[in-house]
Amino acid sequence: MPEAPTLSGFKSRLTGVAPRILVFDSGLGGLSVLGEIVKRQPAADVIYIADDAAFPYGAWDEIALVRHIVALMGVLIDDHLPDLVVIACNTASTLVLPPLRARYSVPFVGTVPAIKPAAKATQTGLVSVLATPGTVTRDYTRQLVDAHAARISVTLVGAGQLATLTEARVRGEAIDPSVVRAEISPCFVEQDGARTDVIVLGCTHYPLILDLLVDAAPWPVDWIDGAAGIGRRVDALLASRDGPPPAPGSSGGPGRLYFTSGAVAASMLQQRLVSFGLTVSP
């Protein structure tokens, strides 16, 4: 695995122009975060990087994954000069935020399971976290549980196939509902007459198939993801930029999506990406 290149880390763009936001994910799951960001920052110049050449991140050794993302991020920062980077991937965020912040001066916003709001929302005291196997086994996730949900029962569920199924769904492929049902079934716990009433979507892919999750659920629950919190953090960081804000009503125009594999999106995927305000760039 190549070492991170030696770069200046961050070349500041002109102040007073629309902010450039780089949204980074292992695949297309970060689209769920992108939608919240664009809603809040319609004037932003958005660049979306789908690291499909390395998907899925859950199959990587942790040290190798950190090296890969830190090295790739240096190249992306040097190429695109973002004002802010959103790591729209829970698996990556639980590992790489400290080394990224140590290496580069551009602000980073991470994505972590929304355990704190889930703990506040539950009425039965039974909460489940649905995430990738890597995310649920990380010390960071368990620390979030200890810090914000120590007085309730939290079930951590690692879904091995949901992220890949979501990628297929976004590309227009059909998904077997029975597979979705099997993946989420451990989230639904009955204990002393109480039932799970809140499920945290701990992977940014999962909100993109929320309709399938709702259909597969044995009883109604509240589904919580972290997109709104990410959007608020982006707002706060961009508010601290030097120079005047963009004019009211201004728009950054269509964002650009790059696949690290160099792949060209199929026509059905291109149509779906247009709904997120993105065009695919070579």
Active site residues: 89, 203
| Residue in the block written with tokens 């994505």 | 111
Give the DSSP per-residue string, 76-106: HHHHH--SEEEE--HHHHHHHHHHHHHH--S
Please say whether the beta carbons of 97 and 124 come within 8 A. no
Query: b or e along 2-41 (b: 16 or more beta carbons within 10 Å of the residue's beta carbon)?
Result: eebeeeeebeebeeeebbbbbbbbbbbbbbbbbbbbbeeb
Strands, DSSP E only, in 12-151? 20-25, 45-50, 84-87, 108-109, 126-131
Q: Please provide the distance, in angstroms rounded to a whole number, between the alpha carbons at the two ends of the chain.
A: 24
The token pair at 225 is: 């993801």
Say how far apart CA 46 and CA 23 lie, in whole Å. 7
How do strand 194-195 and strand 190-191 relate by DSSP bridges? antiparallel
Burial of 82 (0-12, 13-18, 19+ CB in 10 A): buried
